[in-house]
Structure 1
Amino acid sequence: MRQVQRQTQAQKLALTQVMRHSLALLSMDADELQDAIRRQQSRNGFLRTPPPAPPSGNTGEVRADTAAQESATDDLLRQVSLIRLSPRQSLLARDLVYSLDDRGFLPDSPEETADYLQCNLSELKVLLPLLQQGTEPAGLFAWSLADSFRLQLQARNRFDPLIERLLGRLDLIARQDIDAICAACEVDREDAVEMLDDIRALNPAPLVRQSAVEPQPSAPELLFTTSDGDTCTASLNESALPQILTDDALFSATMAAETDARAQSYYRDCYRGAASMVRAMQKRANTLLAAGQAIADHQHKYIRTGRARDKLPLTMAQLAHRIGVNKSTISRALSNCRIGTDLGVLPAGHFLARPVSDEAPDRTRDHVLNRLRLLVETEDPRCPLSDEALARQLVKARLPISRRTVAKYRQFLDIPGAYSRKANGGA
């Protein structure tokens, strides 16, 4: 036996983070989108919901952000007032609340903090654990990102010496380098993945209060608007689509305040994740709009009249070819999509129809059903048409189907056979 070495080269397509997000979001309905965004916001302070647009002027966003920050501060002050503290500690605790940065961290060193609060380090060391354990969300009043993660893990009962060692290498967590984590913490891959998942589920900016994402599950995501001519326009229903964006101001402030290079690496990764989510939502909206407009262009007559005979054949494959995407992308995008029209709110699949056969690519099943019903209604009741005769009549109308299919469609329309129709007609 002779051993032979061969070298082969293979090409593989790797999905980017944006592509993975886009594929996952495409098939979600409004409720699932809301849950997905809420989960991402709980672990990424740089992903936020924009405030409602102000009625006039351009200061609404600043005022909304200021109000949110004031609300968070007031809530913290209320929580602190419920902790059993001495009068001296209560005064220091109140000052510490106003000392927190946008993330909920103490930005200065312990020595500097003690200096401008005019207290001793020993007082801070006694007071801070009380505030860290007595306020929510977990992770506030931390000196650093790693310290905040420690507090959050302790609150979840997930803190141990191994994960403590990993918190010293936030750069590895940002890169999600499993092999490097295994080497640094001396663990196997399973433990490394588990620790990484635990940390990636934490919020790097726990003080950031997110606005509630409340899309309307009953509202259609697309709207069809007909004009006086033969055109129909598709548009996105903004009220039914969650609105998210990256918090650039928070990211800039965080990077300016953070001096640890490894923590900066982690924050950059979080910001990229938030930007990836925003782009994925935009790609989803663009795909829905493109698919909706292609449907509107093809089915404009049916959308105007609502008559089944005006619906033209249109398959997912044809729709995907029209807008230049894969069929699976269209399938995901339209699986839970609902469209508002003058006919009512209808699922996107309602506007798709397969041709009755290759010989009649411009006719659909609805055309056959309507024609079959008309043939039976206009037949001589004393000599009703058999299934074979109905099939011949349909062929003459350019609707070629077999006698067997005629029988199936007749049963679907709840039309009895020729013998029963004759007996009823004779009676």
Structure 2
Amino acid sequence: MNMQISQRTAQTQGLVMTGHMQQAIALLQLSNTDLQRYIEQEAEENPFIDVARSDRALPSLPYSGGKGNDGDDASSRVANHPLSLYAHVAAQFDLMFTSAQDRAIADRFLEALDENGWLGEPLEEIAFACALDMDEAEHMLLAVQAVEPSGLFARNLAECLALQAEDQGLMTPLFRAVLDNLPRLAAADLTGLARVCNCAMDDLRTTLKQLRSLNPKPGADFLIGDLIEREPDLIVTRSATGWKVELNRSTLPAVQVDEASAAIATQDKRAREYVGERLGVARWLRRAVEHRNQTALAVGAEIVRRQAAFLEHGPARIAPMTLADVAQTIGVHESTVSRVTTGIMMVTPQGTMGLKRFFSTALSSDADSEGGASAAAVRYRIQKMVAAEDPANPLSDDAIAQMVSKDGPILARRTVAKYRDMLHIPSSFQRKRQGKLNAM
């Protein structure tokens, strides 16, 4: 066997992700609020970083929602919206938890609160994140469930309704029995429900009437249309030349570098190395924040340019658009657009929503149709159809598919079923059964 040892030299190119590059990429995903928090944390460790917000007022150019409402402007929409669910609960936590440790744990529960007011994460995960055992987690859960309105932080429907029933003094043995047998109620098996609850039908009807007075989604009361739990990062207004996108200066943080203090500190030779390193970090952060703002503005402007029909006429006219479309136009990588659209919210005449919601693939249309409609627009049409249907005779998936396909993209029944699931719309059989229950 012949063995030879050889040495070869080759030249290759590769990208090394430095710490600064990773941080800059992470900044793209942050909202204005999260960016403010991040900069404040950096300022605590770096004496040459000052956090400031622009004194520039919000734009007040009139814009309309397609109906000529010139009295509405972006500043009023941002400043005067109702208190969000997050802010409402946080304000109560300020009074409920005086211990910093308890407040930090409560805030972790608050982060898990979904838009309906339910606990959106398993209690085991929250306990692990807060280094609690399950008994301690259960005790804290009971504490945060004491907020108003009752029903918040419930883990399921039965618990949500039970919290409200306890608060309103409705919890009786019969009421508890009904909550323990909600699947029978969902199946409209009233005879079987009365049998397992060992009650008369008249008593059951009285309890069901009380049950219907409760709110299964107490957090949804804090949302109006697409209004969100925090202020938007971008604002769309109508000007004389068309639609205009601006950064929300009322929440936009800015990094200021204290060059004067740094110059004085460098006179001390012993501190010169430390000052140089901290000053370099401060200058980099200022450039990174400016780059993040410019990228967010460019992405938002391109989205608005492509979605002019949506701004004029609403969700039914949202146009097909992909991340690659926007990335190619503004000259950045597709992953950059994906990161920017993750955390950025934009206020428009049609409501406030995340940039991700504007992206939707095109559906195939017949020969007589003018281009493909977006999947998001079709889902909106399905939602409107179901909302307007006769509860006693709901539309089947086949019927919806035929109605959409008449004047739009060709839609299969299985596609309607998939979109129903995405919109959390029950089947026609379930909707008919629910209609009967509501009519009692």
TM-score relative to the length of structure 2: 0.49
Do the aligned partners of residues 386 and 50 (structure 1) sit closer, same or farther apart at CA in structure 2, a change above 3 Å counting?
closer
Structure 2 residue aligned with 1:99: none
Instruction: Check whether the contact 1:46–1:250 (CA below 8 A) recurs between aligned residues.
Output: yes
C-alpha distance in 1, partners of 2:303/2:425? Answer: 27
Matches within 5 A, 1:240-259: 240-255=251-266, 257-258=267-268
Structure 1 residue aligned with 2:244: 233
Structure 1 residue aligned with 2:361: 354
Do the aligned partners of residues 387 and 15 (structure 1) sit closer, same or farther apart at CA in structure 2, a change above 3 Å counting?
closer
- Which string of whole-angstrom CA distances, capped at 9 and with x for unpartnered residues, describes residues 364-416 of structure 1? 1244346667989999xxx9997567656655535123332234446765562
Which residue among 302, 305, 312 is the counterpart of 1:304? 312
Identity of counterpart residues, as a percentage? 30
Which residue among 221, 226, 235 is the counterpart of 1:223? 235
- Which string of whole-angstrom CA distances, capped at 9 and with x for unpartnered residues, describes residues 6-62 of structure 1? 3332211134565333212111234432332122212221111348869xxxxxxxx
- Which string of whole-angstrom CA distances, capped at 9 and with x for unpartnered residues, describes residues 161-185 of structure 1? xxxxxxxxxxxxxxxxxxxxxxxxx
Structure 1 residue aligned with 2:118: none
Do the aligned partners of residues 378 and 335 (structure 1) sit closer, same or farther apart at CA in structure 2, a change above 3 Å counting?
closer
Which residue among 328, 333, 358 is the counterpart of 1:326? 333
Which residue among 365, 370, 373 is the counterpart of 1:363? 373
Instruction: Check whether the contact 1:410–1:416 (CA below 8 A) recurs between aligned residues.
Output: no
C-alpha distance in 2, partners of 1:36/1:240? Answer: 13
Matched position secondary structure for 1:243: strand
Residue 284 of structure 1 and its aligned partner are, at CA, apart by 0.6
Which residue among 336, 347, 353 is the counterpart of 1:340? 347
Using the TM superposition, name which of 283-292 and 242-251 deviates more: 242-251
Residue 227 of structure 1 and its aligned partner are, at CA, apart by 3.3
C-alpha distance in 1, partners of 2:307/2:53? Answer: 37
Matches within 5 A, 1:345-424: 345-357=352-364, 362-369=372-379, 391=401, 394-395=404-405, 397-409=407-419, 414=426, 416=428
Query: Letter of the aligned partner of 1:251 in structure 2?
Result: A
Residue 358 of structure 1 and its aligned partner are, at CA, apart by 9.0
Matched position secondary structure for 1:363: coil
Which residue among 26, 34, 37 is the counterpart of 1:35? 37
Instruction: Check whether the contact 1:355–1:362 (CA below 8 A) recurs between aligned residues.
Output: yes
Query: Letter of the aligned partner of 2:346 in structure 1?
Result: I
Residue 363 of structure 1 and its aligned partner are, at CA, apart by 0.8
C-alpha distance in 2, partners of 1:270/1:374? Answer: 56
RMSD, matched Cα: 4.1
Do the aligned partners of residues 253 and 313 (structure 1) sit closer, same or farther apart at CA in structure 2, a change above 3 Å counting?
same
Higher Cα radius of gyration: 1
Matches within 5 A, 1:46-65: 46-50=48-52
C-alpha distance in 2, partners of 1:271/1:244? Answer: 12
Query: Letter of the aligned partner of 2:301 in structure 1?
Result: Q
C-alpha distance in 1, partners of 2:34/2:331? Answer: 26
TM-score relative to the length of structure 1: 0.50
Using the TM superposition, name which of 343-352 and 219-228 deviates more: 343-352
Matched position secondary structure for 1:225: strand
Do the aligned partners of residues 377 and 282 (structure 1) sit closer, same or farther apart at CA in structure 2, a change above 3 Å counting?
closer
Q: How many residues align?
A: 256
Instruction: Check whether the contact 2:54–2:252 (CA below 8 A) recurs between aligned residues.
Output: no
Matched position secondary structure for 2:319: coil
Do the aligned partners of residues 53 and 326 (structure 1) sit closer, same or farther apart at CA in structure 2, a change above 3 Å counting?
closer
Which residue among 12, 36, 41 is the counterpart of 1:10? 12
C-alpha distance in 1, partners of 2:33/2:387? Answer: 46
C-alpha distance in 2, partners of 1:318/1:364? Answer: 14
- Which string of whole-angstrom CA distances, capped at 9 and with x for unpartnered residues, describes residues 307-349 of structure 1? 2221111222222222111222122212111112233322222
- Which string of whole-angstrom CA distances, capped at 9 and with x for unpartnered residues, describes residues 84-140 of structure 1? xxxxxxxxxxxxxxxxxxxxxxxxxxxxxxxxxxxxxxxxxxxxxxxxxxxxxxxxx
C-alpha distance in 2, partners of 1:367/1:53? Answer: 38
